Structure 1
Amino acid sequence: MPLDIIWTPTARISYFEILQYFDDNFTQAELKEFEKLVREVLKLIGEFPKIYEYSEESDTHRCVLSPEVSLYYQVEENSQEIELLVFWDNRQDPDNLNLG
């Protein structure tokens, strides 16, 4: 049974910012393909939550969605939930990434 996926406010805001970036800089077909990819990845994460790279230091998983975007999330073992933390623009300074 797939785990529930919870969107933090930061994840929701950053996702819409990424969609705006794609809308401004890519074709509509590329934007739709990215949205489809996110849906597929979320389904995969729900089924296999530990499939992507894990960082013990931050207790997070990282899925590289495209050269421009990574998704960071946590697996909440006790509650059987996955918490989406942020859709990160990979062009940004990684020192600014706050996962806490």
Structure 2
Amino acid sequence: MAFKEIVWSELAKIEFANILDFYLQRNGNANYSLKLLNEVEELMLTLGQNELIGRLTSNKFTRTIPMKYYAVFYEINESRIEIVSFWDNRQNPDKRKVK
């Protein structure tokens, strides 16, 4: 399977940035944020090579990949993969915005 371009929706970018910023502020250093960023970068490389690694959600076109405390939601089209949400599973699920 060929490598597909991965793009992040504005919502996913904001969610991920907020998580990174939260841990930067909470911990007083960037160690955890950098660790999480590296894990996400590795996951994106894997996802770009194997787009079907996530399980289908109830809507049958969004897929999700669990990452310890987080869930990455994405959708596939012919030419690219779009990350639609980067969710901290410790939050109230009613707060999650879906498109």
Q: Do Structure 1 and Structure 2 share a fold, with TM-score over 0.5?
A: yes
Name segments (4+ residues, structure 1) moved above 6 Å. Answer: none
Q: Does the 8 A contact of 1:63 with 1:70 survive in 2? A: yes
- Note the residue ranges of structure 2 that are not aligned, 5 or more in a row: none
> How far has the Cα of 1:30 moved from its partner?
2.0
Are the aligned partners of 1:62 and 1:72 in contact in 2 as well (CA < 8 Å)? Answer: yes
- State the match for 2:40 in structure 1: 38
The percentage of aligned residue pairs carrying the same residue is 23
Q: Does 1:60 align with 2:59?
A: no
Measured against aligned partners, the alpha-carbon deviations of 1:45-95 in whole angstroms (never above 9, x if no partner) come to: 10001102211425211112232x21111111xx32101101112122223
Aligned length, in residue pairs = 97
* Partner residue in 1 for 2:10: 9
Instruction: List alignment gaps of at least 5 residues for structure 1.
Output: none
Normalised by the length of structure 2, the TM-score is 0.84
CA RMSD of aligned residues (A): 1.7
1:74-85 aligned within 5 A: 74-76=75-77, 79-85=78-84
